[in-house]
A and B are shown apart, each in its own frame.
Chain A
Amino acid sequence: MDDSATQTTETAGAEKKGWWQRLTGGLKRSSSALSAISDLVTMRRLDDAVLDEIDDALIRADLGLDTSHRIVAALSEARHKAAISPDEVKAVVAAEVEKALAPVAQPLVIDATKRPFIILVAGVNGSGKTTTIGKLAAKLRAEGRSVMLAAGDTFRAAAIEQLKIWSERSGAAFIAHKAGADAAGLVFDAVTAARQRGSDVLLIDTAGRLQNRAELMDELQKIVRVIKKIDAQAPHAVLLVLDATVGQNALSQVEIFKKAVGVTGLVMTKLDGTARGGILVALAAKFAVPVHFIGVGESIDDLSPFSARDFARAIAGLES
């Protein structure tokens, strides 16, 4: 930007290169294998060095400092005297993570006495709300339920078209207003229409919003108020969709969305990449919000029920 800045770079050049090489070298090592705890190759006791490595691996999986430390502390209490193999270490870690996740691994229960069962889907931009709705619709249709999709994302260009295509793929009914219309108005119409048609489930898409945008959160609350006008018990489920690559910001997302619209369950998407979604462990400890599904692929069937055991084993780097 200015002279002094350029100079700094030049003089620091040689030194910097050394650092880059060390850094990138180290990074390569740590992630060349996809599993988190793969560098533990020798038979060892769970001594402090190993515990530190486990701590690092958990931090790298986005569990966050506190959660990682807590898990490691739990491991060190139950210290294993004898030397154990890397797989055993992983199994111990997986068991500890599973313990944290087991209480929140709950399926999404559709109460058939509530018709339509109204599910509101929210989340930050790009977390995968629309795609999740498409997959969920397909799942519910396969269970023989009648489903209606409401295109509540009237903001993002072509979001309505995207949901419409999903409705066609899954054989669900579809309701939309034009782009830019008031989302709450559309939701009112959607709830009314779903009642008239006698749909079993109404899935409402919403525009992505960052949780620190007060005015957008107000808009979401308005949608909930409008739903309650027609059915005071609705929405029967409010799903927050989280991207697996998200880091510690997920804590803020859950906290604020929960406060604003009473999130009843989480869905984690894009777990088929390199991200491990360890933040779910921290979320489970802090908020105890149920986790219903994980998204593991791009096709219509790639929405799986959340299994604490499988997830924990994946974080620990074990084949499930």
Chain B
Amino acid sequence: MFDNLSERLNGILDRLTRRGALSEADVEAALREVRRALLEADVALDVARAFTEQVKQRAVGVDVIRSVTPGQMVVKIVHDQLVETLGASAEPIDLNAPAPVVIMMVGLQGSGKTTTTAKIAKRLTDQQKRKVLMASLDTRRPAAMEQLAVLGRQVGVETLPIVAGQTPVQIATRAQTAARLGGYDVVLLDTAGRLTLDDELMREAADVRRAAAPHEVLLVADALTGQDAVNLARAFNERLDLTGIVLTRIDGDGRGGAALSMRAVTGKPIKLIGTGEKLDAIEDFYPQRIADRILGMGDIVSLVEKAAATIDAEKAARVAEKMRKGAFDLADLREQLAQMQHMGGMTGLMAMLPGIAKIKNQLAERNLDEKVLKRQMAIIDSMTPAERRHPDILKASRKRRIAAGSGTRPEDINRLLKMHRTMADVMKAMGRTSGGAKRGPMAGLANMLGFGGSMPSPEQMAELAKKMPDGLPPGLPGAPAPPPKMPGASTLPPNFPGLPGLGPKFPSGLPGLGKKK
């Protein structure tokens, strides 16, 4: 979601990065653009103002004038300021209290409270092995309580039985009693959605807060919220003394300025972000990373973490070993494709890579959707085991059969084979040269993902972005063949084609996506 903002700031700061000296006028001009970008990203007016003012005070000063690369300095100052505004470090949900720990969810109607409640319940159950009870206090919206019960069944978390006619406070009390008797660790209270002006509902929520004495009071808010974000965050914080914020719909294409606004006006940390419709699509919020991402430095840490959680370590080790030996066959490629799909497919994956916003837009333009992965897997599925092991035996008639079997055309099969060959070659090469450091399965995984080396500097990122302005890397899986004359194609990082997302070749174009901190 933050792509647009990072594009904007990249565009503005690129100019500064390339210039030697930096005058006060330069800073002024850049900051006007920063302010504009922030407002277009729905950052609240006063927050945007305070933000740019702060950056200006830091930027127009001795350290900038004296520093060797002033543009770099401004990038750093904007970055630091973003991190500071978003909160310096990640703050996960705090369960450090006597059980049952009560977590109360509040928010406007339609912000995604109920879904978020279920997501948090699932996360606490699966990842932290807590015994969780959910209770809906929404006595207003038709079928709200049923919705939570259904979600509870889907994620395998208990919900408090519905008793008609009880008030929210009564339900909350009953939930706590049930949790105490049932030996639950955590009780999640999903309250009714409300409008900021609705005094009665606010009072009701305040009553619940008093009666249930929750350890966490989380405001669930839509990342697409406009200028009103400040009003709603302040209103909820004043009435209910929040302990944190959960931002939903961060997978939309909104620019997410609401994150900055709400953090700034309440001073309360953003604890979690909702990243999709599936019930495991919720992640910790790392201000540092989001600030990096806003500046186009990529969200490498999340990517590695996501990969580590999704990819079966054993399979990865096996593939890595094969890679090293140069025996990477189509069955292995299929496994990789499947894992990619699991990690959120091309778009999900690419969103996390630095400097990738441009490519992503090109992908969108070319309608490269997730189907490509499926289609490629279908092709491999239509082969015999022997063909998967020895793709060389695939001649025209076999290709026609496979095309018919997978509902594709022989060209698609050729493209897949070419991609596989390039990948296999690079992997072989990497297997030979990557020696040195570690050789464990994780090192293999890291290599596969194309990590190793140090963080790229913004200049390097800009360099990379410059290299791929005009077209898709030619070999990107399943992308329509590039038009014959593509000006930028020859300057593309030569190895990018291997990237069925996980680009073993990516490193060559990207001087080392660091293991980062």
A binding-site residues for B, Cβ under 8 Å: 1-2, 5-6, 8-9, 12, 16, 19-20, 22-24, 26-28, 30-31, 56, 59-62, 64-65, 124-128, 155-159, 161-162, 164-166, 179, 210-215, 243-249, 252, 270, 272-276, 279, 298
Contact = CB atoms under 8 A, between A and B. Distances in A.
B463 interface: no
A250 to B, nearest CB: 8
Contacts, number: 193
Interface in B378-416: none
A279 B42 CA distance: 11
Interface string B74-91: 000000100110001110
Interface of B: 36, 39-42, 44-47, 50, 54, 80, 83-84, 88-90, 108-112, 114-115, 140-144, 146-151, 154, 195-198, 222, 224-232, 234-235, 249, 251-255, 257-258, 264-265, 267, 277, 286, 288, 364, 367, 369-370, 517
A165 B83 contact: no
Nearest to B223: A249
B151 A157 contact: yes
A20 B263 CA distance: 11
A161 B232 contact: no
Given A157-B154, A245-B232, A249-B253, A5 B224 contact: no
A26 B146 contact: no
A165 B142 contact: yes
Contacts of B227: 59-62, 247
Contacts of B224: 124, 243, 246-247, 249
Contacts of A179: 150
15 contacts: A1-B89, A12-B84, A26-B50, A27-B44, A27-B265, A62-B227, A162-B144, A212-B252, A214-B367, A247-B258, A248-B41, A249-B42, A270-B195, A273-B228, A298-B140
6 closest cross-chain pairs (CB), A and B:
A247-B226, A126-B110, A247-B42, A158-B147, A165-B142, A157-B150
Contact of A6 (B50, B89, B154): B89
Most buried by B among A2, A155, A166, A248: A248
Given A8-B80, A22-B50, A210 B253 contact: yes
Nearest to B153: A157
B109 A59 contact: no
A124 B1 CA distance: 15
A275 B224 CA distance: 13
B147 A5 contact: no
A210 B252 contact: yes
Contacts of A298: 140
A9 B109 contact: no
Given A2-B517, A60-B227, 6 more contacts: A125-B277, A161-B146, A210-B253, A248-B41, A252-B254, A275-B228
A158 B143 contact: yes
- Among B88, B149, B232, max chain A CB count under 10 A is at B88
A273 B370 contact: no
Contacts of A157: 114, 146-148, 150-151, 154
A128 B39 CA distance: 26
B39 A65 contact: yes
A31 B231 contact: yes
B110 A279 contact: no
Task: Give the interface centre of A1, A126, A127 by most chain B CB atoms within 10 Å.
Answer: A126
B195 A272 contact: yes
B196 A161 contact: no
Contact of A270 (B89, B110, B140, B254): B110
Contacts of A166: 142
Contacts of B50: 19, 22-23, 26
Contacts of B89: 1, 5-6, 9
B265 A1 contact: no
A311 B226 CA distance: 18
Nearest to B254: A249
A5 B252 contact: no
A274 B255 contact: no
A26 B47 CA distance: 10
Contacts of A24: 265
A245 to B, nearest CB: 5
A27 B265 CA distance: 8
Contacts of B140: 298
B147 A156 contact: yes
B111 A246 contact: no
Contacts of B257: 247
Contacts of A9: 84, 88-89
Considering residues B50, B110, B115, B286, which has the most beta carbons from chain A within 10 angstroms of its beta carbon? B110
A30 B144 CA distance: 35
A76 B139 CA distance: 51
A211 B112 CA distance: 17
B251 A245 contact: no
Contacts of A248: 40-42, 226, 254-255
Contacts of A246: 222, 224-226
A248 B4 CA distance: 12
B226 A62 contact: yes
Contacts of B235: 274
A43 B18 CA distance: 49
Most chain B Cβ neighbours within 10 Å, of A24, A128, A247, A298: A247
A214 B229 CA distance: 27
Contact of A56 (B45, B47, B154, B232): B45
B225 A247 contact: yes
Nearest to A64: B40
Contacts of A59: 39, 45, 227
B136 to A, nearest CB: 10
A274 B254 CA distance: 21
A256 to B, nearest CB: 9
B455 to A, nearest CB: 14
Contacts of B369: 214-215
Given A16-B84, A23-B46, A125-B249, A273 B147 contact: no
Contacts of B277: 125, 155
A24 B238 CA distance: 12
Given A61-B227, A270-B195, A247 B142 contact: no
A249 B2 CA distance: 12
Contacts of B364: 214
Contact of B150 (A22, A28, A158): A158
Contacts of A64: 40
Contacts of B196: 273-274
B162 to A, nearest CB: 12
A65 B36 contact: yes
Contacts of A28: 234
Nearest to B145: A158
B249 A1 contact: no
Contacts of B109: 126, 128, 270
Contacts of A19: 50, 54
Contact of A126 (B83, B111, B253): B111
B84 A124 contact: no
